[in-house]
Every structure is written in structure tokens, then in C-alpha cells.
Amino acid sequence: MLISLMMAGAALAQDCDVRAMSKDILAAGPHEAAPMFVQFAQCDGAAAAKVAPKVIPSLIGESDGFAAAIAALEVGAGETVLSWMDSLQQDEQSRAIRALGKQCQESETVQSFLVDVHGSLGASFWTNRWYRALTECRSEAITGLLTAHVDAGPGEDRGAFFGVLEAYAINVGAAAVEKLATLARAEEDQEMQANLIGAFADASQVGTLAGMNNDTAALAASAIRGMGPSLPPKSVEQARITLAVLQDEAGSDALVVHRYKDVLQDDGSLLYGVVVMEDAVCKNGKPSQRYHVAPAVDQGQTWPDQLEEKVKSTVEINWTLNLAERCKGEGTVKYLVPDAPFADRAAMKLWVKEVTRTNANPDVKRSIRVDQQPVAL
């Protein structure tokens, strides 16, 4: 063991030959210099800080370069690193910022650097997407930056604000739910309101490596459901999507009555319709057509894009669709449903007239109409 310790000490002394390492780094190309600098910084931080102004500006905007830049931050060369990042191409700078973000939670030096950069850049910190480094960095100072920017509102760059809103929600988690709900209820701009509602999923950590936080998701879903009656159409549609992402399928479906509250029937139901077209070429070669018509009544749980599937499951059991079989030929069955509920039976009647006209086979002199009992959804 003593021999091993002596050998390890000798290797460390050799590795920390500051003069030789400094000379080698300064002579190396940018690809080789990056990992060498990381080693040098671990060996002697003060010596690494002295050569950083000469080494860092030559680095390539790739993973080794990002690691060297972070090492330079740790030895106190923050100004040099910021200058180097400013010189990078936009895509390289974005990757560098993300690299900082991966280290931020574990490094107080990186946290301080980002706070300092915000102080130096001001509004450019947000428009240049530096906030991407803050998403999972939950220090008091970093979270404070995000919270203050969200409180200040969108300003002129709405796109950047939406990005900051996402970063804020992920960073703060469950504590963001109340603020998001308050902001969403007060917001009159539908685009802004929709983005606030979407941020509930971010607060619930949807899409993160750790996976959705079920407790936060439950809080968020409850807040969204509570807002449902007061939301305008675009925001209701976003609320539907967000609740589905939060795995509240029942709540997501129930929002349909708020989206189409202007056409609710007297009993609170939604009136849809269904037309099923049977087309056949019979054994004698003649075409035949028959179509079935019925109202479809929903008790406030079916969105238009869910209608066809639900209608099929009922129709296939209860209706006789055997036109081709009866004439010993071959045929097709086509389901036609509206893209929104109707205000009344008169509106449904007009829709039926139009879709049957559009889908009529011109080679059939007279199609057969079958009026069916209402389909209960």
C-alpha cells in the first residue's frame, strides 16, 4: 500500500507540473487544448486562470470546449468565458448555454456566473435565450430571476416570454400552480392565456427525465377545471390538451360543454348528427346506395374529433348495414359526422341535406334513406 501511495503521489506531482502543462496547452490546437485545460484547472486553479485568456478564446463550440469553459468559470475566468460565448455562432451558443444549465444546480460558481450575466446583459439575457440554462437550477437567486421576469409580463418579445414561462414553471414546480392560475384567470389575451394554461404541464414536470409529478399534476388539473366555465374557445381547447397531458381524461372531455356553451340544448346536452352511407355494386353490376340518418346526443363528454369512433361503436351493434350482402355484391360503408355540434334540429337537417348531396352516387337513380333512432353517446 505504501508503494502504491508513493506511486500515486509521484503521478500527481508529474500531472501537476504547472510549467510544462501551461506550455503544452498554449502550444496545442483548440481540440486538444480543451481537455488539457480541464485537467490543468483541476491541477492548479490559479495557474489555469492565468492561461485562460489565451486558451478559452480559441476553443471550438462543442462538448469539450463547453467543459473547458465551465472549468474556466470555476477558476474565476468568467469574463473570458462570457466573451468567448458571445463569439460563438447562435447554435453553438445555445448548446453552450444548455451545457451551463446541466451544471448549474451542482455549481454555485455557475449560478453566480449566470446571475452576473443577467446583470450585464439586461433584456438581452432573455431575448438571447440564456434562460434555457435556468430551467432545472433551483437556487434562490436563479429562481428569483425567473419569477421576477414572469411577474414583469411579456414585454415586446412574446416568444421569449413564453420560453421563460416554461422555464419558470419547470423550475418552480408545484409552487407555480397558484401563480399560473391567477395570471390565467386575469388574462384577456387568448394566446397569452393559452400559454399560461399550457405551462401547468411544465410545472408538473411532464416530459422531464424524472417524469410527471402526480401530486402537482392533480393540483394543476383541479385549477384548470375550475377555470373552464370562464375560458374563451381557444383557451378551452388548450385546457383540453393540457388536462389530457396531465392524464385527466375525464376532465379533458368534460370541457367540451364550455367550448360549445353557445349551442347547449335545454337539457345541457350537445346535439350532433350521423349519416352512414352504404354504397354497393350488386351481383348484376348495378350500383346501389342506402344512407342512414340519426341525431347523436352527447351528455357533455364528446369532442367532435372523438365523435366518429364513438358513433361507430354504437352503430355497428345496433344498425343493420348489409346493403352489399343483400344484393350479393361488394360495397363500402362510410361514416359522416359534423365538425361541431348543432344549435338545433333545423341546423342538423341542413347538414344532412348537404352531406348526402355531396356523397350521392350519380349512377344511382334513387338512394334509399333510413331514419334511425337517436344515437346516445
Lowest-confidence pick of 3-17, 275-289, 291-305, 316-330: 3-17
Co-location of 295 and 331 in the same domain = yes
Nearest to 41 by CA among 80, 6, 82, 9: 80
Judge whether 65 lies within some domain.
Answer: no
pLDDT band at 157 (very low <50, low <70, confident <90, very high): confident
Judge whether 105 lies within some domain.
Answer: no
Amino acid at the residue 266: D
- Total number of residues shown for the chain: 377
Judge whether 234 lies within some domain.
Answer: yes
What global pTM score does this model have? 0.85
Co-location of 282 and 230 in the same domain = no
What lies within 8 Å, CB to CB, of 377 at 6+ separation is 272, 296, 297, 298, 299, 301, 302, 307, 310, 311, 314
Range list of H helices, the chain: 2-15, 18-27, 30-43, 45-55, 63-74, 78-87, 90-104, 108-121, 123-127, 140-152, 158-172, 176-186, 190-203, 214-227, 233-245, 249-254, 256-259, 304-318, 323-326, 345-358
Residue 115 or 156, more confident: 115
pLDDT tens digits, 306-354: 999 999 999 999 999 999 999 999 999 999 999 999 999 999 999 999 9
Nearest to 289 by CA among 313, 324, 257: 324
Residue 334 backbone dihedrals phi, psi, to 5 degrees? -125, 130
**Domain boundary at 222, 241, 259, which?**
259
**Domain boundary at 240, 259, 278, which?**
259
Nearest to 170 by CA among 122, 131, 223: 131
Q: What is the largest CA-CA distance in the chain?
A: 104
Co-location of 313 and 355 in the same domain = yes
- What is the rounded distance in angstroms from the CA atom of residue 219 to the CA atom of residue 222? 5
Q: Which domain holds residue 291?
A: 264-376
Strand, coil or helix: what is 369? Answer: strand
Co-location of 233 and 273 in the same domain = no
Judge whether 70 lies within some domain.
Answer: no
Buried b (16+ CB within 10 A) or exposed e, 102-136: ebbeebebbbebbbebbeeeeeebbbbbbbbbbbb
Range list of H helices, 75-189: 78-87, 90-104, 108-121, 123-127, 140-152, 158-172, 176-186
Co-location of 196 and 298 in the same domain = no
User: How many domains does the chain divide into?
Assistant: 2
Co-location of 219 and 291 in the same domain = no
Co-location of 367 and 296 in the same domain = yes
Co-location of 169 and 249 in the same domain = yes
pLDDT tens digits, 80-106: 999 999 999 999 999 999 999 999 999
**Domain boundary at 231, 259, 287, which?**
259
Co-location of 231 and 324 in the same domain = no
pLDDT tens digits, 25-44: 999 998 999 999 999 999 99
